[in-house]
Structure 1
Amino acid sequence: MDQVETHLTSIDVTDDHVKIILATYKFSKDAKFWWKSVTNQHKVKEMSWDMFKELFYEKYFLVPKRWELREQYNSLIQGTMSVTEYENKFTSLSRFAQEIVRNEADKTRKFISGLHYQMKSLITAQYFKVYSEAMERALMLEAKVKDRNAGREQ
């Protein structure tokens, strides 16, 4: 689904019905049979892209697994990960918590709350509302800490 959405974005498809047609075009075997049953049960021409994704995830990405990934997102902390590793995991899991992260400010607060304590306190003091700015500041702080630790070792 991520690849499909990337392709649709890259060719600038915005119409939900066209997105669904293009997404289902390459379905084969089980997916093709599943889609045929969906078209018999739903008004596909009126279906939104979000509804299509929800039906797809219900079939191929079971609810317990989605709940597990949402919980991983909720409890995600940086721990021993670098900021880049933490950010990658954060971004990967955030798609399963869209109702938790409703806007940029929510996303930013969640990202900052999972950072190492020292980094979190420095970033929180500056109060970032934009996720990319908070992540960039975390990367800069991490680099400073590494430089300082390397200096101590020498």
Structure 2
Amino acid sequence: MDPKDFAGTTDPLVAEGWIRSLEAIFRYMELGDADRVRCSTFLLKEDAALWLEGVEKTVDLATLTWDEFKKLFFEKYFTADVRARLKREFMSLRQGDSSVAEFVRMFKRGCHFVPLIGEDEAEKLQHFIDGLRPTIRRDVVMAEPADYATALRRALRSEQSLRDISAEAHGKRPFTQQGRSQHHHGKKP
């Protein structure tokens, strides 16, 4: 386990990712609140260390819980307005010209920020299907998936089928036109 230092950032996703990476380590090591806070504050460097000095003037770090630390940290590095913007983006997320794989990456990230959808299987399934490109959505809906994993597999298959159809159409069109034109002139193809 190699926890990374945190020097501060203007990218809220980096800050949120740092906390998530620490939480994975803390769960593995089965650390309690006090140890989590102590470990996290040790990893704060540069601007983040200065932020912590300001926090220490109003909060007793010795009694600070992990949830309280995260709340203070997110107030600084992953603000409520950023979280609200990410939620809005997720609620209007559409596949557009993205591949299914890229859409899934954005969808999973959004599920993390909107747990009411991400943690409810029926909501997650519906939101995923609604965001798919119409040609892929049609194939997924027709398969009547029971869950998100099934819908995802069907979406990936549909996308591959559409690529195959497109490649076949592009690959055979000149040959077919040439064959027809030769046939019409009394020549064998």
1:99-138 matches, within 5 Å, as 99-125=116-142, 126-129=144-147, 131-138=148-155
CA offsets per residue over residues 55-107 of structure 1, 9 Å max, x none? 21211123222221211111000011110111112223333222443333332
Equivalents in 2 of 1:37, 1:98: separation in Å?
31
Q: One-letter code of the match for 1:92? A: R
1:83 aligns with 2:106: no
Equivalents in 1 of 2:125, 2:42: separation in Å?
37
Deviates more, 1:117-126 or 1:99-108: 99-108
The aligned residue for residue 24 of structure 2 is 9
Task: Give TM-score, length-normalised by structure 2.
Answer: 0.66
1:81 aligns to what SS in structure 2?
Answer: coil
Q: Is the 8 A contact 2:139 2:154 kept in 1?
A: no
Q: One-letter code of the match for 1:95? A: H
Q: Is the 8 A contact 1:77 1:115 kept in 2?
A: yes
1:41 aligns to what SS in structure 2?
Answer: coil
Structure 1 residue 140: deviation in Å? 1.3
The aligned residue for residue 183 of structure 2 is none
Structure 1 residue 10: deviation in Å? 5.4
1:17-56 matches, within 5 Å, as 17=33, 18-38=35-55, 40-41=58-59, 45=63, 47-49=65-67, 51-56=68-73
Deviates more, 1:30-39 or 1:18-27: 30-39
Task: Give TM-score, length-normalised by structure 1.
Answer: 0.78
Structure 1 residue 31: deviation in Å? 1.9
1:96 aligns with 2:103: no
Deviates more, 1:114-123 or 1:137-146: 114-123
1:120 aligns to what SS in structure 2?
Answer: helix
Equivalents in 2 of 1:124, 1:66: separation in Å?
31
Residue ranges of structure 1 left out of the alignment (5+ in a row): none
Residue ranges of structure 2 left out of the alignment (5+ in a row): 1-15, 172-189
Q: How many residues align?
A: 152
Equivalents in 2 of 1:48, 1:61: separation in Å?
16
Deviates more, 1:111-120 or 1:98-107: 98-107
Equivalents in 2 of 1:121, 1:16: separation in Å?
48
Equivalents in 2 of 1:33, 1:100: separation in Å?
37
Q: Is the 8 A contact 1:16 1:47 kept in 2?
A: no
Equivalents in 1 of 2:122, 2:54: separation in Å?
40
The aligned residue for residue 153 of structure 1 is 170
2:113 aligns to what SS in structure 1?
Answer: coil
